[in-house]
Each structure stands twice: as structure tokens, then as C-alpha cells.
Amino acid sequence: MSENSMRIDKFLANANVGSRSDVKKLIKKKLVIVNETLVSDASYKVDALKDDIRVNGEVITLRTSPSYYVMNKRSGVVTAKKDHLHKTVMDDLHIDIREQLFPVGRLDKDTEGLLLLTSDGDFAHRLTSPKHDVEKEYAVGLDALPLEGELLRIEEGLELKDGSRTKPAKITLSEHPDYTLHITITEGKYHQVKRMFGAIGRKVERLKRVRIGALQLDEHLATGEYRELTTEEVEQLQ
């Protein structure tokens, strides 16, 4: 027997199609087909690498190498794998390996822009840990333009309401009519950008992440859309 041989219920559970009992239900509903043969038994043996395995017509594969995606997050979805109340960024992902991925860091429900999704925990940790100083650039729409001295306070690092201090940040004026300025930070505290501007009395009305490290938000990626990162992009981010 080939070393890649395993029961169909184990294969489909490993491919994150569902739990073994979910898989049994799929088999009962006659939705599981292997090499054009309808499977009627959860113990049916498959070759994980060679067989053509489909559930409801969709080809299922086991991915062993990590995956990396970039999404232009839309406003209105929460950055989480699951949420009982709201739609999540995962609901916008229509790929078979969706269950293996998780978002890198977090954007607020009303924030748009560059969000990475991966199955690689080390990659996610490196990008989100404040120790690694990875730059995150945001386009910010404010209720009013701050004074120069107020912007300088943010650039130097200021104290937030909870007493914590922010690291130095860079600010430039935005050329886009929907945004007031761009801010680049190297940490990701909860609601960080909103709280930094809140500390100088301004309200963030629009927020979009446009860059992480060397990776710019793709202009051709509409909000809610995503694509796989190229190998070069993954290497640059690492």
C-alpha cells in the first residue's frame, strides 16, 4: 500500500473540509467522489497525492507548504477566523485552503486595506511583533487638519490615555482627496492610529492600511479581493 494511502474521512478532515462527522454527512449526501467513483463508506482508502478527490465538484488537496495571501480588506468585516455576530475576512476568502489560513495582525471592522493571511505562524509573528519594527503605513482621513506641533507630538511618540507610550512615527500629507495624511508606525496596539490622533483631539473618520514593510497595497485589488503573494514578496516580507 502506498505511504500516501489513508481513509477518505481522515484525508478530508486533514484538508480542513470538516470534522470526521461532517465528512460522514457529506458522504451520505453523495457529495464525495474519488476518481469519478461515488464514495459510500468513510473508510474508503485514497492516495492523498495521486487520486482525484472531489467534494461537491470541488477538487480537494492537502497543502503541506505554507500559503501566503494578501487581501484588500473591506469595511464591515471583522479580522478574525470566526465571529458569532459579524461577517469575518474569512467569509470573503473563497479558496479550498481557507481553513488553514489566519489573518496576520488585526484591522478594525471599519478599516480597509492591506491584510495578510497565512498558514505560517512564524511569518505572522515576525510581522506583528513590535521587536521587529516592521513598518505599517496607513492613509488617515481626519475630521480636521492638526496643527504642526500636534503632528510633531505624534511623530516623537506620545502618551495614550491608558498611560502607554507610542514609538516614534512618520507623517506625510496625503495627496488623495479622501485622506488627510499618511502615518507610518512600527507597532500595532489596539486601535493604535485612532488613539494616537485621539490623544491630540482629532477623530479618525477613514482608515486604510496601504503598506506593510516593502509590500504596497495593490491598486488593482478592489476592496474585498485577494491574491496569493509571489515568492519574491514573501521573501521580502521575511
The rounded distance, in Å, linking the Cα atoms of 76 and 214 is: 27
Choose the stretch contacting ligand URA; rule: CB under 6 A; options: 64-72, 85-93, 125-133, 192-200. 192-200
**Contact criterion met (CB below 8 Å) for 195 and 161:** yes
- Decide whether 54 or 109 has the Cβ nearer to ligand URA: 109
Whether residue 47 lies in the annotated active site: no
Q: Is residue 107 close enough to count as binding ligand URA by CB under 6 A?
A: yes
9, 192, 215, 237: which one contacts ligand URA (CB under 6 A)? Answer: 192
Q: Is residue 194 close enough to count as binding ligand URA by CB under 6 A?
A: yes
Q: Is residue 139 close enough to count as binding ligand URA by CB under 6 A?
A: no
The rounded distance, in Å, linking the Cα atoms of 66 and 48 is: 18
Q: How far is the CB of 25 from ligand URA (least distance, A)?
A: 38
Looking at 91, 96, 108, 218, which residue is catalytic? 108
Q: Is residue 111 close enough to count as binding ligand URA by CB under 6 A?
A: yes
- Decide whether 191 or 211 has the Cβ nearer to ligand URA: 191
E strand map for 64-203: 68-73, 102-103, 112-118, 136-142, 170-173, 181-185
Q: Which residues contact 205 (CB under 8 A, 6 or more apart)?
A: 141, 142, 143
Q: Is residue 182 close enough to count as binding ligand URA by CB under 6 A?
A: no
Place of cell 507623517: 171
Positions touching ligand URA (CB under 6 A) are: 107-108, 111, 191-194, 207
What positions carry a catalytic annotation?
Answer: 108
